[in-house]
């Protein structure tokens, strides 16, 4: 089934926003791994990011340099109990902001129209007030 690539870009940006919100009050690795809900939520959002990037790679839309994100997603999905949570923590604190900037730059530089995708995603998340607020802000910035 075909899905418009702009939706994958929005999926990535929503997932990054959620990770930033979920970990905002988490000061260190020990607090991160002791908070099951945050840990599970962050892992889920990283899976969404990896899957979205995989779809964009398959459509030859983004650069192969993003392949390592897909590989990390595959490791998380298939290792289950062997996830390296310290690596997850490092990605969240050292790479997620850079990914967000790179995706936004790609969208702007390639004049990628994600307005319709944002509107569609707002409908999907209508009961998630913080996500809708983020999407409305994103719509204004793009």
> Does 73 participate in catalysis according to the annotation?
yes
Smallest Cα–Cα separation from 100: which of 49, 28, 51, 48? 49
> Does 93 participate in catalysis according to the annotation?
no
Q: Which of 3, 44, 67, 78 does the annotation list as catalytic?
A: 78
**CA 106 from chain center: how many Å?**
15
Q: Alpha-carbon distance 36 to 7, whole Å? A: 29
Q: Where are the beta strands (DSSP E) in the chain?
A: none
Q: Which of 3, 21, 44, 73 does the annotation list as catalytic?
A: 73
Express the helix, strand and coil content of the chain in percent, nearest 5 each: 80, 0, 20
Distances in whole angstroms, Cα of residue 5 to Cα of each of 57, 58, 78 = 10, 11, 25
Rg (CA), the chain: 15
Catalytically annotated residues: 73, 78
């Amino acid at each position: 089934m075909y899905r418009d690539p702009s939706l994958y870009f929005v999926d990535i940006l929503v997932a990054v926003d959620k990770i930033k919100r979920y970990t905002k009050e988490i000061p260190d690795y020990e607090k991160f791994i002791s908070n099951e809900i945050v840990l599970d939520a962050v892992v889920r959002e990283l899976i969404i990011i990896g899957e979205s990037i995989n779809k964009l790679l398959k459509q030859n839309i983004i650069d192969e340099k993003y392949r390592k994100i897909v590989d990390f997603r595959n490791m998380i999905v298939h290792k289950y109990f062997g996830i390296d949570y310290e690596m997850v923590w490092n990605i969240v604190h050292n790479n997620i902001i850079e990914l967000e900037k790179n995706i936004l730059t790609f969208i702007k530089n390639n004049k990628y129209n994600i307005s319709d995708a944002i509107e569609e995603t707002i409908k999907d998340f209508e009961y998630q007030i913080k996500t809708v607020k983020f999407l409305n802000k994103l719509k204004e910035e793009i």
